[in-house]
Amino acid sequence: MVKKLLWAASVAFFIQFLYFQQFQILSLTCFVMNEDMSITSETDDRMTSKVDMDSPDEVSGGESVPLKKGPWTSAEDAILVDYVMTHGEGNWNAVQRHSGLARCGKSCRLRWANHLRPDLKKGAFTPEEEQRILELHAKMGNKWARMAIELPGRTDNEIKNYWNTRTKRRQRAGLPVYPPEISFLASQNKQNEELGAFSSADAQNPNVLGINNFEIPAVEFKNLEYNHLLYPPPLGEIPVSSFLAQGHRAPYSSTYFLSPMHPSKRIRGSESMFSGSNGDILTSLQYQNDGSLLAQPSGFSSYSHNLTYDDHRSFSSVLPGSHACLNGNSSSSEPTWAMKLDLPSLQNQTENWGSPPSPLPSLESANILIQSPPAGHSESGSLSPSNSGLLDAVLYESQTMKASNDNSHQGKETSGDAVNNSCPDLKGWETYEDPISPLSRFSASVFSEYAPVSESSLHEFPSMATMPGCKIKQEIGDLSPLDEKDDTSNQTIFSSPNTQHAKNHLAFKDAFGSGFFDDCGWDCKQTHAVATSSGQACGHNSCSWDAMSAV
DNA sequence: AAGCGTTTCAACCGCTCGACA
DNA sequence: TTGTCGAGCGGTTGAAACGCT
Per residue in A441-495, pLDDT (tens digit) is 333 332 333 333 333 333 333 333 333 333 333 333 333 333 333 333 333 323 3
Q: Residue A5: CB partners within 8 Å, gap ≥ 6?
A: none
Report the length, in residues, of chain A. Answer: 551
Cα A66 to chain centroid distance, Å, stands at 43
- Kindly indicate the confidence band of residue A380, based on its pLDDT and cuts at 50, 70 and 90: very low
| CA atoms A462, A465, A467, A472: torsion sign | positive
| Residue A396 Cβ < 7 Å to strand C | no
The nucleotide closest to A158 (CA, C1' atoms): B9
CA angle A161, A167, A518 (to 5 degrees): 75
Write the pLDDT tens digit of every residue in A96-154.
778 888 888 888 888 888 888 888 887 888 888 888 888 888 878 888 888 888 888 88
Classify residue A301 by its DSSP letter: -
Chain B footprint positions (protein CB, under 7 Å):
7-14, 16-18
How far is the C-alpha of A41 from the C-alpha of A499, rounded, in Å? 59
- Write down the mean pLDDT value for chain A: 46
CA/C1' separation A433–C12 (Å): 48
| Strand C interface, A 74-113, C-beta < 7 A | 89-94, 105-106, 109
Residue A96 CA to C4 C1' — how many Å?
20
> Which among A121, A60, A70 has a CA at the least distance from the CA of A93?
A60
- Rounded to two decimals, the pTM is 0.41
Q: Which residues of A370-386 are buried (b: 16+ CB within 10 A; e: fewer)?
A: bbbbeeebbeeebbbee
Protein-contacted bases of chain C (C-beta within 7 A): 5-12, 14-17
- The reply to whether A432 Cβ lies less than 7 angstroms from strand C is no
| Nearest residue, CA→C1' of B9 | A161
Query: Stretch A329-350: mean pLDDT, rounded?
Result: 31
Phi, psi values for residue A49, rounded to 5°: -65, -25
The number of beta carbons lying within 10 Å of the beta carbon of residue A316 is: 21
